[in-house]
Amino acid sequence: MINWILVIIGEILVAIGAICDLIAAIGINRFPNFFVRLHALTVGTIGGAFVPLIGVALIALGAEFLGFYRFFMAGASVIAAILLLFLAPVGSHAIARAAHRSKAAIVYPKVVDRLEEDREKGVIE
Amino acid sequence: MGIEEHVMLFITVIIPIFIVSIILYLIRILKGPTIPDMVIAIDAISYDIAVFLAVLAIYFNSPILISCVIVLMLWAYALDVYVAKYLESREMGE
């Protein structure tokens, strides 16, 4: 009985992750500029990779046909999910800061950009 | 229906969604107008392939595949940091 509960919860999490991945893939093609596409990337990171990895761990714990190595699979999945939860936001913030500072991505449909004005006036470095 | 048939049927249904997402990310990698666009698309495709590998490890019942997931994640993070460093100061850092 507990195996069925673990497997069903894990399958629900993997299904949520797959749908988030599809939404992020559509968004990364449809959004107009780099800083808006960053939003689609983070949807695909937390919703599309962290949640299904936890789901894979639960499925591997509940599925007895995988043999003894299912504990290894569950542990490696949880470790990968926690690493991703720490490292992926750091990476996206670093690339966003670098793109804004080096003007590699132009903010095209914009209303106001106070950070760029301050940097031109020399208020901040 | 036992647990094994249920899990196999579910994974068979879920695999095409991942493949469609990978193809859509590939379009952005090939099209991307600036370098940061390509970099975030490569990040997203790395995380997507990592989850896909974890699902395939259950499908093929092979625990070897699950250790590639951690390597893929760390590789995507290293790509982020290196490209950010290069864009800011035009050097890779020695």
Q: Of all helices (H) and strands (E), which one includes residue A34?
A: helix A34-42
| Cα–Cα distance for residue pair B90/A5, rounded to 1 Å | 53
**Average pLDDT of chain A?**
88
Q: Judge whether B19 is closer than 8 Å to chain A, CB to CB.
A: no
Backbone angles phi, psi at A9, to 5 degrees: -65, -40
Chain A environment of B26 (Cβ under 8 Å): none
What is the DSSP secondary structure assignment for residue A31, as one 8-state letter?
-
| Residue B23 CB partners (closer than 8 Å, separation 6+) | none
Give B53 to chain A, closest Cα distance, Å: 10
Closest CA to A18 of A63, A53, A59: A53
Q: For position A120, what pLDDT does the model report?
A: 82
pLDDT class for A125, splitting at 50, 70, 90? low
Q: Judge whether B17 is closer than 8 Å to chain A, CB to CB.
A: yes
Domain range spanning residue A86? 2-121
Give A70 to chain B, closest Cα distance, Å: 8
**Between chains, do A87 and B50 touch, taking CB under 8 Å as contact?**
no
Measured between alpha carbons, how far apart are the two ends of chain B, in Å?
A: 58
Chain B environment of A86 (Cβ under 8 Å): none
Q: Judge whether A46 is closer than 8 Å to chain B, CB to CB.
A: no
- ipTM of this predicted structure: 0.87
Q: Which of A16, A84, A86 to mutate to test the interface with B (most CBs of B within 10 A)?
A: A84
Contact A56, A83 (CB under 8 A): no
Nearest CB to A104; choose among B6, B22, B35: B35
Q: Judge whether B15 is closer than 8 Å to chain A, CB to CB.
A: no
Closest CA to B57 of B67, B66, B46, B44: B66
pLDDT surpassing 70 at residue A36:
yes
More confident residue, A125 or B18: B18
Buried b vs exposed e over A36-70: b needs ≥16 C-beta within 10 Å? ebbebbbbbbbbbbbbbbbbbbbbbbbbeebeeeb
Contact A28, B41 (CB under 8 A): yes
pLDDT class for A65, splitting at 50, 70, 90? confident
Q: Which of B5, B18, B27, B47 to mutate to test the interface with A (most CBs of A within 10 A)?
A: B47
Q: Judge whether B8 is closer than 8 Å to chain A, CB to CB.
A: no
Q: What SS3 class is residue B11?
A: helix
**Between chains, do A91 and B77 touch, taking CB under 8 Å as contact?**
yes
Measured between alpha carbons, how far apart are the two ends of chain A, in Å?
A: 61
pLDDT surpassing 80 at residue A108:
no
pLDDT in tens, chain B (94 residues): 788 888 889 999 999 999 999 999 999 899 878 888 899 899 999 999 999 999 999 899 888 888 888 888 899 899 888 888 888 887 766 5
Number of domains in chain A: 1
